Amino acid sequence: MVSVAINFVEKFRDLRHRFDEIERALSDQSISQDPHKLLDYSRRHAELKEPVRDFLTYEKILAAIQEAQELLNDPEMRDMAREELTQLQVQRETLEEKLAFYLIPKDPDDSKNAFLEIRAGAGGEEAALFAGDLFRMYLKYAERNGFTVELESENATGMGGFKEIVAKINGREVFRKFKFEGGTHRVQRVPDTEASGRIHTSTCTVAIMPEVQEVDVKIDEKDIRVDVFRSSGAGGQHVNKTSSAVRMTHLPSGIVVQCQDERSQHKNRDKALGQLRAKLYDRQREERDQAHAQQRRSMVGTGDRAEKIRTYNFPENRVTDHRIKLTLHKLTDVLEGDLDELVQSLHAADQLKKLEAL
């Protein structure tokens, strides 16, 4: 325990030293006159300000505890010192718990926009209808958070479902809000087409990928094959008359993306390239996590499509998240975009797992 406590304190002393360096840098004229450097140093200063402030308070509490322990040897001050020591130890434990969470590494992708990809799995038309239900659920959740949603591509079915639908969600910390939604979602309900009233089980897979810039993922033009074709779906007569839709294949990886939402082939190409970057980055991210097995075990969810993460049971109005063993009997609300309890619980569980791994 002593070695852990020393390591804990040393980490925060390093943070305080870095914070002092940043404060000195911000008063440097060469930094203050460079907008990019000033923004970077100001962001880092804001990130460290609260942890350093809490650590300074923690050091004061440690000093006060030492003083109180010394007063225990004084018969006249012993009772007062014992009472003060009890209060100080509670404050110390509370602050230690708070400081520990500061040490959890932040996900650098949390602040990014995200691509949402939903594919119908087992269950035929019922799975396609469920894909539509999931998309509308995420659309409403995005609206609740003030995010905007851009449709990238869709493969609709005749009954109003989707074999596949891809969208980009824009806003502040979109990836952080959505990142635990990746995996296999299962629905249990009686389909409209089921005359006997028998409950069917169908699945959809969801992928959540952070949007990345060109500097994050380099793609060689010679590694891309681009095919154009006529769009299908909504959009009036125009989509059927021009080859504006774009299918892009990354030859080294075999990854295929397509976009048909825009009337302009050039705009569809740019969107498809954005999807391709996100998929390549997502693959790199997965390989990195695989290389750090301990880190992967500390995560609530891996985002792997094969991982069954949640069941939506209509007869019981129930949603169960299997990763954290959480069951909510408010399926109707969840499908209307009320995902806050699920998302917050997943983040809390993830934080605790990562804290244990430290």
- Please report whether residue 334 resides in a domain: yes
One domain, residues 203 and 310: yes
Range of the domain at 56: 2-102
One domain, residues 228 and 341: yes
- Please report whether residue 284 resides in a domain: yes
Of 72-76, 143-147, 354-358, the one with minimum mean pLDDT is: 354-358
Query: The tokens 């080859």 sit on which residue?
Result: 243
pLDDT class of 1 with cuts at 50, 70, 90: very low
State which of 76, 102, 128 marks the end of a domain.
102
258 and 246 in contact (C-beta within 8 Å)?
yes
d(C-alpha 147, C-alpha 42), whole Å: 26
- CATH classification at residue 200: 3.30.70.1660
pLDDT class of 159 with cuts at 50, 70, 90: confident
199 and 318 in contact (C-beta within 8 Å)?
no
State which of 102, 134, 160 marks the end of a domain.
102
Residue 235 CB burial class (10 angstroms; 0-12, 13-18, ≥19): middle
One domain, residues 86 and 121: no
One domain, residues 93 and 149: no
pLDDT above 90 for 311:
yes
Can you give the pTM of this predicted structure? 0.72
One domain, residues 240 and 285: yes
State which of 56, 81, 102 marks the end of a domain.
102
229 and 245 in contact (C-beta within 8 Å)?
yes
Which tens digits make up the pLDDT trace of 27-43? 998 888 888 889 889 98
What's the average model confidence in pLDDT over 312-340?
97
pLDDT above 90 for 333:
yes
- Please report whether residue 295 resides in a domain: yes
Which tens digits make up the pLDDT trace of 245-302? 888 899 988 999 888 877 788 888 888 888 988 888 888 887 776 655 554 454 565 5
One domain, residues 78 and 201: no
- Please report whether residue 358 resides in a domain: no
Three-state DSSP state, 151: strand
- Please report whether residue 245 resides in a domain: yes
What's the average model confidence in pLDDT over 119-135?
94
- How many of the other CB atoms lie within 10 Å of CB of 357? 12
d(C-alpha 289, C-alpha 110), whole Å: 16
What's the average model confidence in pLDDT over 115-139?
95
- Cα-Cα-Cα-Cα dihedral of 135, 216, 304, 200, to 10°? 20
Which tens digits make up the pLDDT trace of 183-214? 999 999 998 767 677 899 999 999 999 998 87
Q: What is the pLDDT of residue 5?
A: 54
* Number of domains within the chain: 2
Q: Which residue has the higher pLDDT, 54 or 217?
A: 54
One domain, residues 217 and 292: yes
One domain, residues 6 and 56: yes
- Please report whether residue 107 resides in a domain: no
Which tens digits make up the pLDDT trace of 211-231? 988 767 888 888 889 888 876
- Please report whether residue 108 resides in a domain: no
One domain, residues 37 and 60: yes
Q: What is the pLDDT of residue 4?
A: 45
Q: What is the pLDDT of residue 292?
A: 54
Q: pLDDT above 90 covers what percent of the chain?
A: 52
One domain, residues 309 and 196: yes
One domain, residues 120 and 51: no
Q: What is the pLDDT of residue 234?
A: 46
One domain, residues 78 and 146: no
Ranked by mean pLDDT, which of 21-25, 239-243, 301-305 comes out on top?
21-25
Q: What is the pLDDT of residue 358?
A: 66
- Please report whether residue 255 resides in a domain: yes
